[in-house]
Amino acid sequence: MAETSRVAFQVMWTRLISVVEEQAQALVRTAFSTSVREAGDLSAGVYDDQGRMLAQAVTGTPGHVNAMADAVPHFIRRIGRDNIRDGDIYITNDPWEGTGHLHDFTVVTPSFHKGALAGFFACTAHVVDVGGRGFGADANSVFEEGLYVPIMKFADQGRIDQTLITLIRANVRQPDQLIGDLFALANCNGIGHRRLIDMMQEFALVDLGGIAGFILANSRDATLARINALKPGTADGAMRIDGYSHPVDLKVRISIGRDRVSCDWAGTSPPDRKGINVPLVYTKAYSCYALKCAIAPDIPNNAASLEPFRITAPENTIVNAVHPAPVALRHVIGHMLPDAIYDALDKLLADTVPAEGAGCLCNFQLSLRPRTDAPAPDDAIRAEVLTFNSGGSGARPGVDGMNATAFPSGVMTMPVEATEQVGPVIVWRKELRPDSGGAGQYRGGLGQYMEVGAVEGHEFDFQAMLDRVDHPARGRRGGRPGGATTIARDDQTRMQGKGKQFVPHGRKVMMAFPGGAGYGDPASRDPALVRRDLALGYISAERAASDYGLSQAEIADLLARAAKGEEF
């Protein structure tokens, strides 16, 4: 291949990444749900005419985009190649052929150029409500969890299926919001299509065959080079987490071999009776992400760079739950998978992987309504308010963990102002949680304190989606555990980490989100970093003394200097 051709292909590859990022940003700017426009809980990608992912947007989550990589072939199979037409738009929220639960809608649009199918655009977004029990873990089967839309045509050659729209509107609590999100998904694919056609015209491309071959061949070669540079070996990892009514054991075996890395979840707990089960597509998404972060983090995601990571899990385990298992909160298990993988990978790749972190997002949803214990004011309303929040990430080899940062999901924490704008909610407190980061040579990231209640005249059901209550993040290489999750009402009534719980008028929910664990022996921490943490309030005087050995005189001097505003 001539050098000029390689340069041109590289320019086109970069352009494709730019195209799908514009696609994602269009979704952020037009979506109705705060989960999309504020948290970035979405994905966007472009595929060749065989359904192989060529590029993904930078904006998005691993659970969406890596799962969506497998989704487009399902659409091609279900719709049928002979039935794919210019102007079509396809849709589903099938957990097993989409991205893992009913709250994620995936929209796929074929892209035609000069009358021929060139490829596909796909995007996914998490919507606030799909009916049923609402977003939570309490269902006993997927049939209770909301409206189930199989792979079908949302638009047939440009004509929207109004019957489908009517059915969706009749089955959800906030129909205008959901329908708005669906049109935002369709619109962002349309923008991707227009930018792709512009690129094809600019480079005089008849189809995407050449650029697809270049992307996939180079990505595969680069990934295999990284894998084959590693020492072959096999190691086991395990982690126990809260589960719903009883703990869940995650067990994994990682094998590094020639041209592949295998990840087998045999031995993991069976499915739960409640909605924390994980379809295999979501298990594959976060398993691939964990391995790729450790082994080939800088190689762009596409079908070829993901293919050497082989993920298996026995059917009827909690990480390969089959229909009709309840799966609404599949993320509370799925987000924990990387930490279990890193327990194994740390035995194969020393000084590479982080300590355990908060893992799953610290999400909750409020179903608000006028108070029922006394007359409600005339302006009291019903509303569904979902908010995404994060604990701390685990410390890494050579670097402290990140405070209140979602790993592995990567979604953004929602601003208080955005949360309060969409319903009668008051966030009374949202701040970093001192001492929640596990001590170590490198400290774990801090969790958060958060207190939330309803506007006067309202009561609410609180859907908790938390973990790390009974099983805080474990340190690595001598690091200490992170702080555990706590949750209670302001009248000291204990609350559960998962499930729908009633909160009466005038009461608040008080939460402390978990911290990440430390990495390495705390005695080896740089004293300057300890002094900085104390001055910034990341650790207390008590922990500075007990964890890092600072004397009372040093602590008093540091706090006095910090009070004067001196730098450290």
What is the chain's mean pLDDT, rounded? 96
pLDDT at residue number 51: 97
Rounded to whole angstroms, the Cα distance separating 309 from 320 reads: 17
Please give the pLDDT value at position 561: 83
pLDDT tens per residue, range 341-389: 999 999 999 999 999 999 999 999 999 999 999 999 999 999 999 999 9
Bridge partner list, 260 = 257
DSSP secondary structure letter of residue 442:
B
Average pLDDT over residues 193-207: 96
Give the pLDDT confidence score for residue 562 in this predicted structure.
79
pLDDT at 367: 97
Torsion sign (Cα): 43, 44, 46, 51? positive
pLDDT digits (tens, 9 = 90+) for 287-337: 999 999 999 999 999 999 999 999 999 999 999 999 999 999 999 999 999
516 class by beta-carbon count within 10 Å (0-12 exposed, 13-18 middle, 19+ buried): buried
Task: Please identify which residue in the block is written with the tokens 């190689």.
Answer: 299
The yes-or-no verdict on residue 2 having pLDDT over 60 is: no
The DSSP call for residue 223 is: H
- Whether the pLDDT of residue 152 is over 50: the answer is yes
Side-chain-side CA neighbours of 37 within 13 Å: the count stands at: 15
Going by C-alpha positions, the residue among 41, 56, 69, 25 that lies closest to residue 331 is 41
SS3 call for 184: helix
pLDDT, tens only, 123-134: 999 999 999 999
The whole-number average pLDDT for the span 151-178 is: 97
Strands (E) in 300-382, as ranges, are 309-312, 363-370
pLDDT reported for residue 556: 87
| CB distance 192 to 19 below 8 Å | yes
Name the residue with higher pLDDT: 4 or 65: 65
| pLDDT per residue as tens digits for the range 427-466 | 999 999 999 999 999 999 999 999 999 999 999 999 999 9
How is 506-530 classified by DSSP, letter by letter?
A: T-EEEEEPPPPPPBS-GGGS-HHHH
The contacts of residue 3 (CB under 8 Å, 6+ apart) are none
Supply the pLDDT for residue 568: 62
Listed residue (198, 335, 341, 333) closest to 261, CA to CA: 341
Domain residue limits, the chain: 3-219, 354-522, 526-568
Q: 């609410």: which residue's tokens?
A: 460
Cβ contacts of 80-84, under 8 Å, gap ≥ 24: 84/110, 84/117
> How distant is the alpha carbon of residue 266 from its chain centre?
24
pLDDT in tens, 224-255: 999 999 999 999 999 999 999 999 999 999 99
Average pLDDT for residues 46-57, to the nearest whole number? 97
Q: How far is CA 516 from the centre of its chain?
A: 17
**Main-chain dihedrals φ then ψ at residue 360, nearest 5 degrees:** -70, 155
Q: What is the pLDDT of residues 94-120, one digit of tens each?
A: 999 999 999 999 999 999 999 999 999
Sign of torsion over alpha carbons 330, 251, 281, 389: positive
Region 477-491: mean pLDDT is 98
Q: Is pLDDT above 80 for 406? A: yes
pLDDT score at 1: 39
The pLDDT assigned to 418 comes to: 92
3-state class (DSSP) for residue 48 = strand
Q: What is the mean pLDDT of residues 273-294?
A: 97
Q: Is the pLDDT of residue 7 over 70?
A: yes
